[in-house]
Structure 1
Amino acid sequence: MSAPAPPRPRTEERGAPDRDPRALLRSLLAPLGVAVAVLLAGAAVGTAVQGAAWFGHAVLSVVVVVVVGVALLRTRSWLVAPGQLVALLLLVTALFTENGLLGLVPGPAAFGELGTLLAGAGEQINSGIPPVPASPEILLLVTLAFGVLAIAVFGLAVTVGAPAAAGVPLLCVFAVPTALDDQLLPWWSMAAAAAGFGILLVARGDRLRQAPGGVAIAALAVVGALLLGTAATAVGTAGRFESGTDGAGSDGAIGLNPFTSLRGQLTRSEPRDLFRVSGLEQPVYMRALTLQRYVPQSGWQAGRPLPGVPLAGPLPPSTSGPARDATAQVANLGFEDYWLPVFGDPTSIVGPSETDWSYDAAGGIAYSNSPLQEDGWTQRMRLPDPSAGALRAATGGSGVDPAYLDTDGVDPRVTAISRQVTAAASTPFDRAMALNEYFSGPGSRFRYSLQTAPGGGGDALVDFLTRGRTGYCEQFASAMAVMLRAVDVPARVAVGFTAGTAGPDGRTVTTNDAHAWVEAWFPGYGWQTFDPTPLADGRTVEPQYVQQARAEAGGAPAPDDPAAAVPPPPAAQQPAPPTPEAAPTPEPAPEDGDPAATGGGSVLPTVLTVLAVLVALAVLGALPFLLRRRQQQRRTGLARAGGEGAAAAAWAEVLAVSRDHGVAPRPGDTVRTTAERIGDAHDLGEPARRSLSELSDRVEAAWYGGMLPEPGALDPLVAEVSAGITAAGTPLTARLLPPSVLPAPRPGPDTEPADSTP
């Protein structure tokens, strides 16, 4: 055993402020990289939220998180994530509430305000289409989303030091725009995300020598993202990538899933041809499917089709009364879905596969068990042509399914408005016409637009009727169908396409013709069409009975808007939400490939759940690292202090660093043998080997000779050995789950335990 060497000069404590400006700048590179990476990855939010206000809130949120993280990182690393969460809560309290203590600290009232705003954000997501207005509700959601994701990325990239792993939560920043927008994101968003991730990898003070290579790799990633983003441009409808262009003028098949697909088709920047129709002498809507079930605060939902008959052969009628026979030839230019669009009341359809398609006469839909694209078909049909007088006389028992009168959970204010609008109407037909004119007649206060007005955080349908009064076909059809049911007229929503544009080869139907309208049931006649959407481009098809009723009324303006006279009921009078026992029985879960696999629930709970899971995973993932950091700080502190326990702490820290880098102590080895094995296994340089040899001598002298080390004698040795072991880099697994936090084997039965200090 060699004699212990004299103690080395005491070095500056770890974690103390670095007085070298260049070193300080290097330490700030990673936090700055986190801020830039999160903002670049979230740039796609601009496609889903109007204006630039969202970006200011995102920047403020990320800056607060990063600044607080840098400040806390230089004190205690385990405080970083909790401190950032507290700072984010103080920020949203100051920005979005009026009841915070001193304007910053939230209390019960402030939490209530935040909850109300988040609920309102959910309603605006459900009732609007992107880009949604930058309302306080949406800005709160954006601020929280960027803040939480910045906390997760900061924890992995800076606190844990694993920037590659931080790419996982970084990708989740796309949860915000994808929650608000049913289309795929634009090509440049992929390039921005790739650039942000590249900056996250390159911006490291301890790897500046590798920066040129890292920049080159990141640049290649951005170029690749640009190429991929250009090749797979944004599409709506069924959420599939476009598959090129064919000779028919289509650039890939799309579907029509209500209502998310409808929104996507309405907002496409370039319309795509879907059908070419010939043989029809008059414009007729194409009905793809009908929606029977209305769920308050969620909207209309498709149910399981009734068992149908094979599409081949004669089809049972779904209407009765006077009608005109017609035949149409349909060429499919790029439509693929579970539903085959039909006109009027089909009597036969020739062309599609005889075994793949069925027809549900009650629903008026043709459907298959998997998405299909047929080349074309010929349809024979009845086009119902009752008069206004005939429908006005159609009263009595309807014989229709009572589900088409279901209004469970509908806000009583909607019922009150419906009854006031139809107060002067004595028949179901007159009530239907009164509601139709209420939305689209002369003097109506409603306006068609693809940009909807933000709601007030309450019932979405009430907001549309009383405040916004601006929307697209889904909202008009949804509102009128619910209001018809409220005045005892069976109703459903139909989804499909308007008649398209006339041309020399027939009518061409495009994605711009995606539409929703209302069908009301009249005894003896069946389902008849009403379209309440006030389209101004001439695409509306008005049946004969609607034109006759308007002529009889002399073009009278729409009735006075009763919504203005319906005050919101007091809070105490708000109906309690239906209990699970009182709720309508849900549709059975559709089997794989069933066309009814469509939902309309709020996406906000999903977004918030994803964010909460991200935080939980980030915290759980950082626990081993934080425990290892705590052990390291305690051991180096004991070693620095000298005296009893210093040698054991110093030796335990060296063994822990070695174990984290793949070389664990072997039972039965002495201190000196273990030191030699560590030096050889890690290929330590001469300075680190000398420090390791000196440290092993001092440990043996303390354990067996009672020569306790003086203060400041061991910690520089531990630092130099650790630097030598980690010179080749630390594996990602060693950063996220250090093996040294688990119980370690002892270096020998007759020696001091290798890890006797925590």
Structure 2
Amino acid sequence: MSAPTTIPPTAATPAQGSPPAPPPGSALLGPAASGLAVLLAGSATGAVVEGLGWLGYAALAVVVTAATGGLLLAVRPWLAAPGQLVALVLLGTGLFTGSGVFGVLPGPAALDELATLLGGAGTQIDAGIPPVAATPEILLLVTLGFGALTIAVFGLAVTIGAPAAAGVPLLVVFAVPVALQSDLLPWWSLVAAAAGFGVLLLLRPDRLRQAPAGVAVVAVAVAGALLVGTATTAVGTAGRFDAAGGAGAGGGADGSIGLSPFTSLRGQLTRSEPRELFRVRGMENPSYLRALTLQTYVPQEGWTAGRPRPGIPLTGPLPPSTTGPATEQTVQVENLGFRDYWLPVFGDPTAIDVGPDGWAYDAEGGIAYSERPREEDGWSQSMRLPEPSAEQLRTASGPVTVDSAYLDATGVDPRVAQIARDVSAAAANPFDRAMAIENHFTGPDSLFSYSLATAPGAGDDALVDFLTVGRTGYCEQYASAMAVMLRAVDIPARVAVGFTAGTDGADGRTISTENAHAWVEAWFPGYGWMTFDPTPLTDGQTIEPGYVQQAQEQDGGTPAQEQPAPEPAPAPPADGGDAAPEPPPPAEAQPGTTAGTGSLWGPLIVVAALVAGLVLLALSPGLWRRRQYARRAGIARAGGTGAAAAAWEEILAASRDHGVPVPPEDTVRAAAARITDRHDLSGRPAEALAELAERVEASWYGGVLPGPETLDGLVDEVRTAIAAGGASLRSRMLPPSVVPSAGRGRAAEADQADPAAARD
């Protein structure tokens, strides 16, 4: 008997006991799953960034980092994370800087640009309220954030093979909008997060045979998230005061609510598109609309919002907090888009009809509040608008019956207190001291000016710098400074945050985010809280009470104007201690920081050039195409010489990228007809292309140069319509328009005739 023949294993006959070969393309599942999970979990970013433009940048960052990781994982697993980091840096440089070496390598100039953008993003986050505008600074932050998250998720789920652990970084990206957005997140954010984590667990080669059962489990989880989300949407910071005990708990900074009121204030003032908030009817005398008051001043930090005191329900008459002469009014407030813990009120409320329940009124603080953000359709309010005369306030006397916290100036920088005493030295009574301090900021001899460009900050150092060096700011700085100075000269004071009276119209007064404001309220015995506004506004929005106008007319409230010497008074404190010259060093420190950043990235650039060659080959054509478009669009937008050539060259490039090259011998009209027909353009895009062709001919052959912002809109309309037809993956990775060709059509001829025409 012959021995059995041993047949060596082949591809068709695998060795017994060896695992089956993975399905074709399964190596792509891990990178794809990690990227998809990041995008789904990060969808909650839409709650804190305006529009959907950020999604494209997030998706590009995810695709680039996930694809880079997949390519390098097959070479050496340890190369994946460093290579992904390099690819992310190159991507950020190519998208957000104009000085990268070869467009994508981050040289010193590009690093400076990135550092400036990131610094600007921090400022916008500090000063903005969600959703923030999708500025280049914010988009850079989104790009880097999603890219870094993809690196972390990819490393855990794919490189290490622990997809369950990747849920931790996914939770981080989901938690950021929760921390920043006071409103509850939408129901779909829960569903997207659950689906993303499920995809991460399922799409692995070693899990494919368990896919049916896994899909069922994930489907149940997603359905549960959908049920919870639509029933309660119990995600976010809304409805929760920081301190326990309900609205009746004690006040104090430890019970602060939500975002800084000044952050919200600045965010409203700097909105790219103002939003209408209220329409008020029946307002005879304009008055500030107060949302909340700030009682506590914290050294080195500034004014903070504390928990309101125990209030009474807004279901009946309210005890007035002022006495003396007053005008009584009743107004109707229509809510056009305001939702918050606070119900804004005018003057000294005596009754507020806002609905069945949920609101309370803190009479001493002068604020109406709720335990959770609400958006009422509207309400009516009866009020007293105090009208004491300047003389009555000058002679006001009696014990201080308000909380002593309104006099607390503990920890205030001695230089600030000295300035307050110098400014009010000639005043004989508290009212004249208050007027002297207000006139220090708003009087005809004042050195102060209004600007929203000033960086936020109301801590002691920032306050000293504002009073002695900068002297430029917006209402936050002015109200903060005056309230501290009033307390320094023994006048009870607080900062009020709300809105100016808005714009008068046929249908009442309209108040918008542009009217967000802060002012000062000072307390006088026998009269209560009186309004003072030290902000030197020039838009006519300042409301001057009768007693302020009387004092100014009598010139009895302008001792600050009679003694210009106090203006240089800050100099002696600076001489007396070396602490005063401290403001300049921070400005000097910024270049040092940038230089340090450049030296830190120097070695990384060398490594990037060596490690990311493959990534550069894959990404450079697409990035270069974007750069072409940005350059041409800028020239077209500017108008004048070269604008027509740049606009037409971009249309030819877009058509070529989407499969319809235009022969060089085509005339402008023939090219336009070819593009219209082959891309099936109709309606407005076809009209836009025809109009663009006419303007190009008029420029090239008639000498009629296009004006600014006349071509770029037409180009974008046509490009968008052409792109709607789709493009192959190869065309996206290697756009045909960036590949040199025999000719460049009519735009090339125009370039020869017009040396200033657009060049790539």
Q: TM-score, normalised by structure 1?
A: 0.48
By relative contact order (CA 8 Å, sep 6+), the higher-ranking structure is 1
The structure whose Rg is larger is 1
Q: TM-score, normalised by structure 2?
A: 0.48
